[in-house]
Amino acid sequence: MSIINLTPDSFSDGGVNPVASDTDSTAAFTDLITQHLTSGATILDIGGQSTRPKAPMITPTEEISRITPSIRTISALLASLTCPNPHASISIDTFRASVARSAIAAGAHIINDVSGGLLDADMLPTAAKLGCTTILMHMRGDPSTMNSKANTSYPHGLIPTIATELLARVRAAEQAGIRRWRIILDPGVGFSKTQAQNLELLRRFDELRAWDGLRGIPWLVGASRKGFIGKITGVKEPRERSWGTAAVVAGGVRSGVDVVRVHDVEEMGKVVGMADAIWRV
């Protein structure tokens, strides 16, 4: 999964990517997407609202205005004869049902909700009505509160608690009408977790996959360039954390991750290819 943030304030690539809003920028955006697809991306994750810690919240209207022109541009590219991977999917990274509806109408296929449907009560029923695949991530609180002491406390154990809380989201999704085979889970690396907890989560990920009630559901992990990688490797600039990210990606493949969400598509594609060859013969 390739990260395409259309935000001015994301922690790593805020304001970096072109936005398909006029003729010149649309051409640059199309070139960017073509590059990602050529490099091996099979899912393009489009985001218009930053979810970094304490990120300011924009209105749904502004979020929709950021993402819909780019989604339409990608849809047109995927339908063209020159597309390097016409079978790629478009994912909308949002926790708002109204944004998800607009994105799917513009051509997106997948809803990627960092709150697992907790921040908008209409999200799960909307996803069910739209009939699209939905990614449910583990997070407590919202981006302004997720890393508070209360939300990073796991007195009953990290893995059992994440498993229990994700299982509750799976059940809520199924009750809303989302088919189980339309659900992908994300343990939420970097969300509501300390550095030590992020490492424990990655170390014990195979236990989470095997948890009763979660077994057989596909998993996504997104740790690309995150702060805990920078602290461990001593790299302050997020865009220079590719080596640390590569280690997490390789470890994820070894532990059974099905999708990795990354910024550096070409480099991480090579890491995935090698890791697959070693552990998924």
Query: How many Å apart are CA 115 and CA 94, to the nearest integer?
Result: 9
3-state secondary structure at position 219: strand
Q: State pLDDT tens for residues 186-219.
A: 999 999 999 999 999 999 999 999 999 999 999 9
Mean pLDDT of all residues belonging to the chain: 93
% the chain with pLDDT above 90: 87
As a whole-number percent, the residues of the chain with pLDDT over 70 amount to: 94
Within a domain: 205: no
The pTM assigned to this predicted structure is 0.93
Parent domain of 108: 1-112
> For residues 70 and 25, is the Cβ–Cβ distance under 8 A?
no
pLDDT digits (tens, 9 = 90+) for 78-109: 999 999 999 999 999 999 999 999 999 999 99
Q: What is the pLDDT of residue 51?
A: 85
β-strands 133-137, 110-113 pairing? parallel
Residue 36 resides in a domain:
yes
In this structure, what CATH number is given to the domain that contains residue 99?
A: 3.20.20.20
Say if 66 falls within a structural domain. Answer: yes
pLDDT of residue 68: 95
Residue 123 has pLDDT above 70, yes or no: yes
Catalytic residue among 101, 140, 209, 261: 261
R_g of the chain computed on alpha carbons: 18
> Could you tell me if 91 and 135 are in contact, meaning their C-beta atoms sit under 8 angstroms apart?
yes
149 given a catalytic annotation: no
The answer, yes or no, to whether residue 22 has pLDDT greater than 60, is no
Environment class of residue 218 by beta-carbon count within 10 Å: exposed (0-12), middle (13-18) or buried (19+)? Answer: middle
The residues facing 219 across adjacent strands are: 185
Tally of CB atoms within 10 A around 277: 10
Block residue for tokens 């600039």: 237
DSSP-derived 3-state class of residue 196: helix
pLDDT of the residue at 13: 52
pLDDT for 226 equals 95
Q: Tell me, yes or no, whether 82 lies in a domain.
A: yes
In a domain, 207, yes or no: no
pLDDT band of 56, cuts 50, 70, 90: confident
Rounded to an integer, the average pLDDT of 218-225 is 97
Written as one letter, the residue type at 259 is V
**Rounded Cα gap, residues 88 and 74, in angstroms:** 10
Neighbouring CB atoms inside 10 A of 119's CB total 17
Is 235 domain-assigned? no
Please tell me which residue in 54, 226, 239, 280 is annotated as part of the active site.
226
Q: How far apart are CA 109 and CA 43, in angstroms?
A: 10
* Residue 88 resides in a domain: yes
Is 226 annotated in the active site? yes
Count of the separate structural domains present in the chain: 1
DSSP secondary structure letter of residue 93: E
52's tokens: 């970094």
Q: Name, in order, each residue with C-beta under 8 angstroms of 197's C-beta and a sequence gap of 6 or more.
A: 152, 154, 158
Q: Rounded to 5 degrees, what are φ and ψ at 200? A: -65, -40
Q: Assess whether pLDDT exceeds 50 at residue 63.
A: yes
